[in-house]
Amino acid sequence: MYSKATLRSITIVFMLLSLSLNAFSQQTSTIKGKITTSDGQPAAFISVGLKGLTQNTLSDDNGNFTLNKIKPGNYTLKVSAVGLISQEKNITVTAGETASLNFILTENKEALQEVTIEGKKNKYKVSLPSASLRLNEPLLEAPQNIQTVSEQLIKDQQIISMSDGLIRNVSGAARSEHWGDLYTNIKMRGSQVQAMRNGFNFVNSYWGPLTEDMSFVDHIEFVKGPAGFMLGNGDPSGLYNVVTKKPTGINKGEVSFTIGSFDLYRTAIDLDHKITADGKFLFRLNAAAQTKGSFRPYESNDRYTFAPSLSYQLSRKTKITAEYALQNAKMTEVGSYYIFSPNGYATLPRDFTFTQPGVPDTRINDHSAFVNLQHNFSDTWKATAQVAYSKYLQTGYSSWPSAVYTNNTIIRNVGIWDAESTMKLAQFFINGQANTGGIVHRILAGFDGGKKHYIADFNQSHDLDLASAPFDVNNPNYGFPGNGYPSFDRSLSLQERGAANNIDQKYLSAYIQDELGFFNNKLRLTLAGRYTYVNQSAYGGTPNTAKKVTPRLGLSYSVDKNTSIYAVYDQSFVPQSGILRNGQENLPLTGTNYEAGIKKDWLDGKWNTTLSVYRIVKQNELGTDPTNSFIPNPADPANPIRENYSIVIGEKRAQGIEFDVRGEITAGLKLIANYAYTDGKITKVADGVQGVAVGEVVPGFAKHTSNAWLSYTLQNGALKGTGISAGFSHLAGRAMGTFSGTNEERNLPNYFKLDGGLFWENKSLRINANVFNVLDKYLFTGAYYTGYWNAPNYDLGVYSWQAEAPRNYRLSIAYKF
């Protein structure tokens, strides 16, 4: 925890150091140059350095590079990157002068794309996918809507975790309430999307994974619609892929300090360094620590992360990268965000809480490790093998009421939630290019498999309040609870206590894709297929086995070098776990996506627009049986057990239109803006299903979603580097958790949030201040529950919501070295 005086001292030291470095630079010289490909195109983000020394840099978007603070003398300038034959040239540097040297790379631009993608940073518009998406082409040519949230955008908006407002940067994305900051739970195109990390599906307990801290995140890719080449099985609505930071071969570092409202204190460090002078052995360390309070009393969320990574160039063509990440969380019992009332949404103060001080915190240790091996057979063929391991350990508690009464009283309940999740995942795939006659083939083939196991003990619970003396919302008492604190039995191992709460999954899939390019690759036809086998079980149910071949057909046409139109037909399927009242076996959820769109780069690729329309049809999706009722509980007669049967809804359709614009509109002016119209409804009802009807809305979206973030930086003058930013998020027609077509009071109201900020930066120092929820609106998301507390004497309907923070502030100081 840092005081204001300490932070002022640190800032002064940084400024003095910067002035000293500027004075030193007047005695040195500069090397400048440009790197191009043989076809005259600029080669962006290529590593440039002085041989035998640690001074190095990357070429920019236009292929230009600059090395500052060079002492006079003779040097060898080296240009290198994975998959390239290193080039070296001698140069003489004279004091006070600028020396120039240019390079021409023999590889074509397409071969360089895979080499340079990891270096693409500090911009809003990203042109290439990460290697973990397995695509061997620019995003402009891919027959799918893919949006990337860059590292620079994350820093500018002071985003510190995946659940911290990041989704405003993607059209149609919305977050539903669930366990606060434990899970992210992003919904797009009418359903919750899959959470990926470095190309691996990291969902194991239905809702996971633990929301990522941004300290070790490089950027996030949002893929709309099915992606058979990325998933063995997954929801047809799409996915987000968190790409972690890896060594770049550039000696650099950054340390940052952040303070904010509600006792937020955070520090983060990023160290990127060559271990050997030749750049073959690289190291990177990302770490962060924070303490974080809340606008609600008795609530906190303290975390630290530690994420080292190593890469080694085994040969000119082979590279291995290994990384590890630990996320440690100590947070108020899960569920502290929830508010319940029979009287309507936001009928209690924004800072109201049902949390009881004195309930122990929830502790989480989340470990993940990745090993990636890449081998380039040639300039056009590459093989990738990678494995991932995850171990999630949780010891904690969750809160959920036992009863909500119409007289504004409640029985608060705390349950045990100890959990362990293990995932072992592996992938192997080959990317290549071949020519047959006048046809260009971009080929992708491979397989992936995994084994996942989740076990939890949430079988023990304890009422904090007595039935004779419930918690009074109108006169809350946070003293010693009437029924005392919980004392759960942990004498048995988690495996013994949670034997009936297992979730197991094994899967294996193989896929092949050929993108055929006609007419000098202006017209591209994608033909792909995937075979997937899945075996899974949940909560002691009978294991379900499913296997299916899912096709993929795509078409993309380049109208010119900056414009493409596309159409795609894709399928996916997801095995489901649930208990049907009639005892029948569950069928996998199947989804079909029809999508078309147009993409365009503007001003030589500085900014981009994407417009897409889609229709997703799902069949066999399970939902909660609306006829579930309460049955006697022999162990606790006062708390009957609610049935947990599922039903097969029938057919569901989600359709809509999405528009995204991102990039640098003009010098210093950066814009992120998007709009989405989404509609999800039931189109068929399965035989015998009651309680749902054709035409009813299927919750999981906001009908109208629009966002914008505008940032302007002064390019010249005494205030050069000073900037201002502002942005808003607006959601209308929200049908997130529940939706009622007949009772508007049960539906969520429209949502509008305004944020803004000021910043100043130079090459070494950045100061950033943001204000969130400028208008100080009472913002929330939630759901209306019917039939959950409908045992005798319980209310028949309850409003539940999670409020967002009132107007709040963050100030960050970052120093690069």
Summarize pLDDT for 738-748 with one digit per residue, the tens: 888 778 889 99
Give the integer Cα–Cα distance in Å for 327 and 212.
Answer: 8
Is the fold of 1-119 the same as that of 252-816? no
Residues 559-563 have a mean pLDDT of 94
At 290-304, the pLDDT tens digits run 999 999 999 999 999
Displacement of CA 453 from its chain's centroid (Å): 22
Helix (H, G, I), strand (E, B) or coil at 289: strand
What is the number of other CB atoms lying within 10 angstroms of the CB of residue 19? Answer: 10
Secondary structure string (H, E, C) spanning 43-75: CCCCEEEECCCCCEEECCCCCEEEEEEECCEEE
Give the integer Cα–Cα distance in Å for 335 and 371.
Answer: 35
Give the integer Cα–Cα distance in Å for 626 and 645.
Answer: 9
At 648-678, the pLDDT tens digits run 778 889 999 999 999 999 999 999 999 999 9
Token pair recorded at residue 77: 């300038």
Token pair recorded at residue 284: 């990177």
Higher pLDDT: 787 or 370? It is 370
Given pLDDT bands bounded at 50, 70 and 90, which one contains residue 581? confident
Give the integer Cα–Cα distance in Å for 341 and 347.
Answer: 7
Which of 414-428, 527-541, 564-578 is most confident?
414-428
pTM: 0.85
Token pair recorded at residue 392: 């999630």
Q: Is-contact 362 397, C-beta < 8 A?
A: yes
Q: What's the mean pLDDT when you consider all of the chain?
A: 87
Share of the chain above pLDDT 90, in %: 60
From the number of C-beta atoms within 10 Å of its C-beta (0-12, 13-18, 19+), residue 276 rates as exposed
Per-domain residue ranges of the chain: 1-119, 252-816
H or E element, residue 110: helix 109-116
Q: Is-contact 11 81, C-beta < 8 A?
A: no
CA distances from 560 to 61, 156, 598 (A): 20, 33, 12
At 241-256, the pLDDT tens digits run 999 999 998 899 999 9
Given pLDDT bands bounded at 50, 70 and 90, which one contains residue 769? very high
At 25-75, the pLDDT tens digits run 446 788 999 988 765 667 777 888 888 776 778 787 678 888 888 888 888
Q: 252-816 — its CATH code?
A: 2.40.170.20
Give the pLDDT confidence score for residue 106 in this predicted structure: 66
Burial 704-722 (b: 16+ CB within 10 A, else e): bbbbbbbbbbeeeeeeebe
Tell me which architecture the domain covering 1-119 has in CATH: Sandwich (2.60)
At 365-402, the pLDDT tens digits run 999 999 999 999 988 899 999 999 999 999 999 999 99
H or E element, residue 22: helix 4-25
Which of 12-26, 161-175, 252-266, 693-707 is most confident?
252-266
Token pair recorded at residue 62: 């236009």
Share of the chain above pLDDT 70, in %: 87
Helix (H, G, I), strand (E, B) or coil at 812: strand
- The residue written with tokens 């803004």 in the block is 756
Residues 79-92 have a mean pLDDT of 73
Phi, psi of 423 (to 5 degrees): -135, 130
**Nearest in space to 568 (alpha carbons), one of 530, 528, 596, 600:** 596
Give the integer Cα–Cα distance in Å for 696 and 335.
Answer: 29
**Nearest in space to 125 (alpha carbons), one of 145, 148, 154, 143:** 148
